[in-house]
């Protein structure tokens, strides 16, 4: 990957010129699809632009190249969550926590357990009518919650 152009894209992103940064990152990822960082930054730009359908594949590419990259994993988690794809977001969290650790994920898990463990249904987070959230979260995230 052309490190000079990557740094240029980062500078443009930081200056708020997201379209120019995106264009450079698109060129870089198409020319050399081996940079997890380029895909993660591109995903972050799409996420900022609220283009989740383009952000998700970028984060997935980054994760494929660097499975322990917390920024890419968290980006994918948040994009899926914002799309209402809660089960997939939680699956990504579990995948990451199985291979690495993240204080951000530990905080999210703690907040989820504290917020939903005493609710009577998950209707407001995943449309799973009648599914007890305490059981769902304990079964799904309990092992990670106990590690907190």
The DSSP result for 114-136, as a single string, is HHHTT-S--HHHH--TT--HHHH
Whether 139 and 72 share a structural domain: no
pLDDT digits over 111-132, tens only? Answer: 777 766 655 544 445 444 444 4
Whether 120 and 88 share a structural domain: no
The tokens for 147 are 């590690």
Contact 100, 147 (CB under 8 A): no
| pLDDT tens track, the chain, 148 positions | 899 999 999 999 999 999 999 999 999 999 999 999 999 999 999 999 999 999 999 999 999 999 999 999 999 999 999 998 888 998 999 899 889 988 898 888 887 777 666 555 444 454 444 444 555 555 556 555 545 4
First CA to last CA distance, the chain: 38
| Euclidean distance between CA atoms 102 and 140, whole angstroms | 17
* Global confidence as pTM: 0.81
Whether 92 and 20 share a structural domain: yes
| Euclidean distance between CA atoms 26 and 30, whole angstroms | 6
The parent domain of residue 25 ranges over 1-100
∠ at Cα 83 (92, 110), nearest 5°?
50
Nearest to 124 by CA among 112, 108, 106, 135: 112
User: What is the total count of domains within the chain?
Assistant: 2
* Residues listed for the chain: 148
Whether 117 and 46 share a structural domain: no
Specify the pLDDT at position 117.
Answer: 61
Using the structure block, give the residue that is written with the tokens 């994918």: 76
CATH number of the domain that 72 lies in?
1.25.40.10
């Amino acid at each position: 990957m052309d490190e000079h152009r990557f740094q240029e894209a980062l500078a443009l992103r930081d200056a708020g010129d997201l379209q120019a940064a995106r264009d450079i990152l698109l060129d870089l990822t198409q020319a050399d699809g081996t940079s997890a960082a380029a895909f993660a930054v591109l995903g972050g730009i799409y996420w900022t632009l609220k283009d989740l359908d383009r952000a998700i594949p970028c984060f997935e590419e980054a994760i494929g190249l660097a499975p322990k990259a917390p920024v890419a994993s968290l980006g994918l988690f948040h994009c899926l969550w914002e799309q209402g794809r809660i089960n997939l977001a939680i699956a990504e969290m579990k995948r990451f926590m199985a291979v690495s650790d993240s204080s951000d994920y530990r905080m999210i898990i703690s907040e989820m357990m504290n917020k939903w463990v005493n609710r009577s249904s998950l209707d407001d987070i995943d449309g799973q009518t009648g599914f007890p959230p305490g059981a769902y979260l304990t079964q799904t995230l309990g092992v990670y919650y106990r590690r907190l």
